[in-house]
Amino acid sequence: MMRPLIFIGTTNLDIICYSKALPSVGQSLMGTIEEFGGGKGANQAVAAARLGGAPYFATMLGEDNAADSLMNGLAEFGIQTSKFCRKPGTTSGKALILVAPDGTNMMGIDAGANEQFSPDDVLAALQDVPEDAVMVVEMGLPAETCRAAFENKGDRFLIFNPAPVRAKLTTADCKLIDIITPNETEAEELTGLQVSSADQAFEAARYLHDSGISAVAITLGANGVVYLDAERRIHQKAFSVDAVDTTAAGDAFNGALAVSVARGMEIEDSLCFAVATASLCVTRKGAQTSMPTEQEVRHFLTENGALKNANF
């Protein structure tokens, strides 16, 4: 039986330019432009929905046409929409993303209505969410809003994705986080330590764990993820794929991790499942449209000889 899922985060309209390379300063490149639903929180919730969850998603949208299309798209993915809010006089968040043929990207974000998501909005969103829920929060929201989610987590299991890093974590914050999921860059920002290898990632994870965070999972792109808690130290390696667009890889990982925790999977299996989901995600264009189904992830794991070794 799956525990309830609640995601709290941002929703954006992604405007993506696919070109032959990432431009240098002053350079213009020809390419193709497409629009997709995006935003870290929305992407993570879609990943969970595609994997068999029926997550709640608390987010703030503007009063514009983009909000209508974004809301409809999220509902079609199976996300529960009762906690969507619209802020009068604002426009929805937007992201401008440049993507190279190898899937690497550059991104600029206009937060729009996301920046108006307040601590009071968090309290309203959590009112009827069961205490056994798995809650995922991302740092695209204002720091005080994230902190309100931490302080009102109750007995819920809190996964915190500190992306992008907007504030340092306090000792009180750290003690409330069950799993933190930075990438290499975010881990460096949070710890001041260089993270360019698995060994260095474990050092940064140890720093964060010693700060009071129960468990740390640092994503390393093509090098997979390192995980550390009071008892375990795990390096889950990545699967070899041909990347097309890495925009939402971290979001796929977080959505899949939340689903696996909600299902009560062992952490070793959870990490394998989440990395496989992210690996499939990067083989497709877009953010939400790139999220694989549970059946696709299971098939991918079987093809890579991983499913038979895990209790999925």
Annotated active-site positions, please? 251
Strand order in the sheet with 225-228: 84-86, 56-61, 5-8, 134-138, 157-161, 179-180, 215-219, 225-228, 233-236
User: Six-digit token pair at 289?
Assistant: 């449209």
- 279 Cβ contact partners less than 8 Å away, ≥ 6 residues apart: 238, 239, 241, 300
DSSP string, the chain: -PPPEEEE---EEEEEEEESSPPPTT----EEEEEEEE-HHHHHHHHHHHTT---EEEEEE-SSHHHHHHHHHHHHTT-B-TTEEE-TT---EEEEEEE-TTS-EEEEEE-GGGGG--HHHHHHHHTTS-TT-EEEEETTS-HHHHHHHHHT-TTSEEEEE--S--SPPPHHHHHH-SEE--BHHHHHHHHS---SSHHHHHHHHHHHHHTT-SEEEEE-GGG-EEEE-SS-EEEEPPPP---S--TTHHHHHHHHHHHHHHTT--HHHHHHHHHHHHHHHTTSSSSGGGPPPHHHHHHHHHHTT-GGGS--
